[in-house]
Copies of this chain bind each other. A is one copy, B any other.
Amino acid sequence: MLEDVVLSRVDWLVLQDIIRKYFRVSTIVMFCQCEVFYEGRASSRASEARRLVIIKEDGTLLIHEGVGVEPVNWQPNALITSKVGENHFELVAVRSRPKEVVKVFIKDKPDVIICKLGSGKFSIRGTEEDLINYVAQNPSVIEEGAKLVAREFATPHGRVDVILRSSNDELIIVECKRGVADLDAVHQLIRYVEYYRELGIKVRGVIASPSITPQALKLLQKNSLGYVKLQIT
């Protein structure tokens, strides 16, 4: 197995060589005092602090502080170059669409780790997709006697998760949510139902989710729509 390369207090000229040599080859991790500027869809400045800077093989740049899941700055799929200045080492990460730039001004000699990270197989269960599949394959959980008509069906107002037909030949629009159904979910459902009603089609609407917020439930009832509690484990 390839060993990590660990370097302490790396000189900026050496760091520049490392980045030239290992960018888009290995992952480069740095611990450094730095100031960060971002300019693009918005613009930001993060004042000097000690941070963790990660340059991944695919050009992803991540800058983390000591707290929080989210990086303070980032850049997906960037072209990263560097410059040695008098008072700082400058890292420039550019992406073109959208046109954005992140600049990291490193103020000290960073500790650097060069390593090869892999990618394992990743599998997940419990997504909205799983819930849609479940309803599509078991329409009776929504209503006894209902049959599948369509799933993930595109309308001008968005994509309907599942469409069923009841035993008395009415359409049932099902909006699935993997987590807590909220106002937005109900609004989505209302749009779909209105769309079919305007086409002169007799339809009912149902939310299927493990839980729902009180406000969402109220709005649902006000619009004579249904709720089916549905947990897939």
Query: Which residues of A are interface residues toward B (Cβ below 8 A)?
Result: 1, 4, 6, 8, 27, 29, 31, 33, 35-36, 41-52, 54, 56-58, 60, 62, 64-69, 71-72, 74, 76, 108, 111, 113, 115-127, 156-158, 178-179, 183-184, 187, 191, 215, 218-219
Residues from chain B with Cβ under 8 Å of A56 in the complex = 64, 66-68
Which residue of the partner chain, among B27, B118, B126, B184, contacts A49 with CB atoms under 8 Å? B118
Residues in chain B near residue A51, CB distance under 8 A = 117-118, 120
In the assembled complex, the CB of A28 is this many whole angstroms from the nearest CB of chain B, namely: 11
Interface centre among A41, A44, A120 (most CB of B within 10 A): A120
Of all chain B residues, the one with the shortest Cβ separation from A118 is B49
Report how far A85 CA is from B223 CA in the complex, Å.
56
A108 to B62 Cα, complex, angstroms: 25
Stoichiometry, as copies per complex, reads 2
CB distance from A161 to the nearest CB of B (A): 16
- Greatest chain B CB density within 10 A among A35, A118, A124, A183 is at A118
With a CB–CB cut-off of 8 A, which chain B residues contact A111? 4, 6, 113, 115
CB pair B126–A66 under 8 Å, yes or no, is no
CA distance A157 to B186 in the complex (A): 11
Please state if A117 and B183 are interface contacts (CB–CB under 8 Å).
no
9 contacts between A and B (CB under 8 A): A4-B8, A29-B52, A44-B122, A44-B125, A50-B115, A51-B117, A58-B67, A111-B113, A113-B113
Question: What residues of B have a CB within 8 angstroms of the CB of A60 in the complex?
Answer: 67-69
Q: A201 to chain B: closest CB distance in Å?
A: 19
> Nearest residue in B to A45 (C-beta to C-beta)?
B123
User: Closest chain B residue to A76 by CB distance?
Assistant: B69
Contact A187 B179 (CB under 8 A): no
- CB-defined contacts of A58 to chain B, threshold 8 Å: 66-68
Task: Using CB atoms, name the residue of chain B closest to A157.
Answer: B183
Please tell me if the beta carbons of B113 and A31 are within 8 angstroms of each other in the complex: yes
